[in-house]
């Protein structure tokens, strides 16, 4: 069947997600109708470019080939530094090869390499040119001011901490709505350094993982813009800082870019590893406490079950296959309470036959974003440093941006779910 109830349910879900943010709007009378239509059309257009054009298959294969080359190159470095722990020759007989996967040695090093590569590409002007192209697209299609458009496009490749540095000279001039938009998009997208790691995780169970992850990060940017504008509309005549694309992000030569890229990548990798370690430990501690309570519906209580119940309506609104709703809801809860890394690890660990291929594709988009409790603190610390005189406003808006940042990824998942399966070659 080309189109069915699950596709239609996703369209209903789009309306429900937008309606939820409108219910929290600071000015319900100014709903951005044109932006809503434009953002959703832009998302659908991005999907078409990646998967429904004659050259889409070639582009996806190129993205996956680049990802595989990057992974192999990173593995060469990890083998050199960590030996058999990093994938080198084993000094003993291996009876269970699947047990050789060590997250700290096989995934986190990719963040280091991509962070350094991003710094080098920025220094030579390639990444900056790419960001400017996206900035001009967002400026013309979403009606953003030059500084906001540049920051939104920077978030796709650099992440929520580095993107504000690109427009540091304009941060003081951002209105409340523009500042909120910057935060929301920062939480709704992911950085290039982690994007590569996600693709490496999902590759074994998701064909064309690199193309899907890249499309997800790009698509979620206009979703974040839309939901941010729904919650805090821009006052008439405000915003729209001049369409300039100058940046305050600078490196003093190739060696400086290389060293700072390594340093930034190390900070990100350590933060990801430490956050996962602590949050997983806290969840285990909470599970131990909940286990002392009486069984509910024939099974012990756990954080996973509670999150599954809480996020079940969101999974339903995303158009997830009925049989997979419980799994999808649990993964969405894992993303919010832990990180998207933890959620992707769980998704990658689910055998291919246990969930529908369509569900795996939708969740790849729905989980692709930094919106979790830990990221709010990281973003707040960075922006307070850059805007000390707006500290109270930054702290207020950071927590407020968590909901639209989280729902932006869900909105993207719903857009994907609303499209016919044939777009992704699922039949």
- Indicate the helix (H) or strand (E) that contains 212: helix 209-231
pLDDT at 241 over 50: no
Confidence band, pLDDT 50/70/90 cuts, at residue 222: very high
Nearest to 359 by CA among 395, 323, 309, 394: 323
- Determine the pLDDT at residue 223: 93
- Determine the pLDDT at residue 97: 56
- Indicate the helix (H) or strand (E) that contains 384: helix 373-386
Q: Does a structural domain hold residue 82?
A: no
Q: Does a structural domain hold residue 88?
A: no
Measured in degrees and rounded to the nearest 5, phi and psi for residue 232 equal -130, 90
Q: Does a structural domain hold residue 174?
A: yes
- Determine the pLDDT at residue 71: 76
Overall residue count recorded for the chain in this entry = 427
pLDDT tens per residue, range 104-133: 777 778 778 877 887 888 788 887 777 777
Q: Does a structural domain hold residue 287?
A: yes
Q: How many domains does the chain have?
A: 1
Nearest to 188 by CA among 372, 362, 3: 372
Give the alpha-carbon dihedral of 116, 117, 118, 122, to 10 degrees.
110
HSE-up of 107 (CA within 13 Å, CB side)?
A: 24
The range of the structural domain enclosing residue 384 comes to: 5-76+101-424
Confidence band, pLDDT 50/70/90 cuts, at residue 415: very high
User: For residue 421, how many other CB atoms are within 10 A of its CB?
Assistant: 19
Check: CB of residue 187 under 8 Å from CB of residue 376: yes
- Determine the pLDDT at residue 403: 92
Q: Within its chain, how far is the Cα of 271 from the centroid?
A: 16
Structure-block tokens of residue 266: 């190390």
Which pTM was predicted?
0.81
Q: Does a structural domain hold residue 84?
A: no
User: What is the Cα–Cα distance from 27 to 235, expressed in whole angstroms?
Assistant: 10
Q: Does a structural domain hold residue 394?
A: yes
Name 128's Cβ contacts closer than 8 Å, sequence gap at least 6: 122, 247
Residue with tokens 């090869």: 97
Q: Does a structural domain hold residue 349?
A: yes
pLDDT tens per residue, range 28-50: 888 988 889 989 988 888 888 77
Percentage of the residues of the chain whose pLDDT score is greater than 90: 19
Q: Does a structural domain hold residue 240?
A: yes
């Amino acid at each position: 069947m080309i189109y069915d109830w699950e596709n239609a349910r996703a369209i209903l879900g789009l309306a429900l997600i937008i309606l939820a943010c409108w219910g929290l709007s600071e000015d319900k009378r100014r709903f951005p109708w044109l932006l809503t239509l434009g953002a959703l059309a832009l998302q659908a257009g991005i999907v078409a470019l990646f998967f429904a054009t004659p050259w889409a298959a070639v582009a996806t294969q190129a993205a996956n080939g680049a990802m595989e080359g990057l992974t192999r190159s990173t593995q060469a470095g990890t083998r050199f530094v960590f030996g058999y722990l990093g994938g080198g020759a084993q000094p003993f007989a291996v009876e269970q090869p699947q047990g050789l996967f060590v997250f700290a040695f096989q995934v986190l090093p990719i963040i280091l390499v991509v962070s350094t590569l991003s710094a080098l590409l920025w220094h030579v002007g390639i990444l900056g040119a790419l960001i400017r192209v996206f900035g001009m697209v967002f400026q013309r299609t979403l009606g953003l001011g030059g500084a906001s458009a540049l920051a939104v496009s920077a978030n796709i490749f650099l992440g929520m901490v580095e993107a504000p540095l690109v427009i540091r000279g304009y941060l003081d001039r951002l209105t409340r709505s523009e500042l909120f938009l910057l935060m929301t998009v920062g939480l709704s997208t992911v950085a290039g350094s982690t994007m590569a790691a996600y693709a490496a995780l999902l590759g074994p169970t998701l064909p064309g993982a690199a193309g899907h992850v890249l499309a997800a990060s790009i698509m979620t940017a206009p979703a974040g813009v839309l939901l941010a504008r729904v919650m805090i509309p821009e006052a008439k005549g405000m915003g729209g800082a001049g369409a300039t694309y100058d940046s305050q992000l600078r490196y003093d030569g190739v060696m400086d870019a290389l060293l700072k890229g390594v340093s930034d990548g190390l900070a990100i990798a350590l933060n990801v590893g430490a956050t996962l370690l602590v949050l997983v430990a806290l969840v285990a501690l909470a599970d131990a406490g909940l286990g002392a309570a009486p069984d509910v519906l024939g099974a012990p209580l756990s954080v996973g079950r509670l999150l599954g119940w809480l996020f079940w309506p969101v999974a339903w609104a995303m158009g997830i296959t009925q049989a997979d709703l419980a799994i999808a809801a649990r993964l969405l809860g894992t993303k919010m309470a832990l990180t998207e890394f933890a959620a992707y690890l769980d998704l990658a660990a689910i055998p291919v036959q246990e969930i529908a291929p369509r569900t795996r594709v939708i969740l790849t988009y729905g989980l692709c974003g930094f919106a979790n409790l830990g990221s709010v603190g990281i973003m707040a610390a960075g922006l307070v440093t850059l805007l000390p005189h707006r500290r109270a406003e930054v702290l207020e808006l950071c927590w407020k941006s968590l909901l639209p940042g989280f729902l932006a990824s869900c909105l993207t998942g719903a857009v994907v779910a609303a499209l016919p399966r044939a777009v992704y070659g699922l039949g």
